[in-house]
Amino acid sequence: MFSLESNRIIFAGADFEADLKPGGSMKWIGPGADGKPTTLVKGESLRSEPSKLLQYTFHLGQSPFKSRVTVELEPETEATKLTAIHDQWEEGDPAHEFCSDGWPRILSRLKTLLETGKTFKPH
C-alpha cells in the first residue's frame, strides 16, 4: 500500500517487518538512542484480513507490558473509514502515555499522505 519511505515517514523513521499470519512476529525497527537499529515496537499478529483488519499485540521497546491494537478499514460512500483501537492496557504500562501522543501523530501523517501523496517529516 505504501512505499518503504512513506512507511518510515508515517512511523517516525521505523521500518516495518511482519508475518501477518496468526502468531507471526511484527517489529518496527528504527534508530535507537545510540543511532544503531533497535526494535522500537514488537508484537504478535492476532488477526489479519487484507484490506479490512489488522489486530496485534503491542510491546514498546523491551517492556514486559503488552496491549492490543486493532485497525479496521470500512468502505463508505466516498471514502474509507479507518478505526484504530488500542486497548487491553496493563496497569502501570508506560507505553499508554507514549501512545496517547503517538497515535494522533501517526494518523495525522497517514491522512496527509493519503490526501496529498506526501507528508511532513516526523520530529
Low-confidence residues in the chain, pLDDT < 50: 1
25-31 and 80-87: which strand pairing? unpaired
| pLDDT at site 3 | 61
- Structure-block grid coordinates of residue 105: 501523530
| pLDDT at site 1 | 44
So where are the chain's domains?
4-116
Whole-structure pTM over 0.75, yes or no? yes
| pLDDT at site 35 | 86
Q: Cα–Cα distances in Å, from 91 out to 38, 53, 63, 75, 83?
A: 25, 27, 13, 35, 24
Q: Which residues contact residue 123 at a Cβ distance below 8 angstroms, ignoring those fewer than 6 apart?
A: none
- Structure-block grid coordinates of residue 60: 514498546
Measured at the CA of 87, the angle between CA 75 and CA 27, to 5 degrees, comes to 80
- Structure-block grid coordinates of residue 74: 470500512
Query: What does CATH list as the number for 4-116?
Result: 3.30.530.20
